[in-house]
Chain A
Amino acid sequence: EAQVTQNPRYLITVTGKKLTVTCSQNMNHEYMSWYRQDPGLGLRQIYYSMNVEVTDKGDVPEGYKVSRKEKRNFPLILESPSPNQTSLYFCASSFYRDYGYTFGSGTRLTVV
């Protein structure tokens, strides 16, 4: 089944403890991106990637890192999470932007 898989689905962690949220797609998509969704603020793009080894900042990149070493994977790294990074995170991918993006199921992160 064609899909974007995020792990974990739920995560509670403590301030300052490094974590990685994984994102993998099995559709050979070129484009991948990360978003956070917060009540009243909608979805905001964190980082995006147009190909392997090509990444760029979205609207809210502070406090996050990404890497794109292989086409199928696009992990989101929080080196030192803080409570203001508590949010619902979505990964998305697209073969070609004219076809729209496929979103993962989301990762609900709580930082205490």
Chain B
Amino acid sequence: ELKVEQNPLFLSMQEGKNYTIYCNYSTTSDRLYWYRQDPGKSLESLFVLLSNGAVKQEGRLMASLDTKARLSTLHITAAVHDLSATYFCAVETSGSRLTFGEGTQLTVNP
């Protein structure tokens, strides 16, 4: 059974600081996704990582994938309040089978 673990689960940080969210998974994967969810809202796709060493960046967020270590990271640079949300990683295996991590609830304080 595939396990996807995120840490930390809760993250409170100050504006302007940097931090990294980690996503570990337990088996070989076809692809890895990062999503953002605001309270009471749906999920918004952030990144799709397809291969070992993949790195993608959008604004203050950068995601990377190390398939050998079965690890993905979501790095936040110079956090701003608008980044406050819950971030999920999700791992896809055979077909369209998708397993989500528990989510990291990020709060950025002024």
Contact = CB atoms under 8 A, between A and B. Distances in A.
A82 interface: no
Contacts of B33: 100-101
Given A97-B30, A97-B92, A100-B33, A45 B42 contact: no
Contacts of A94: 96
Interface residues of B, number: 24
B42 A42 contact: no
B25 interface: no
Contacts of A44: 100
Interface string A57-88: 01100000000000000000000000000000
Interface of A: 31, 33, 35, 40-45, 48-50, 56, 58-59, 90, 92, 94, 97-106
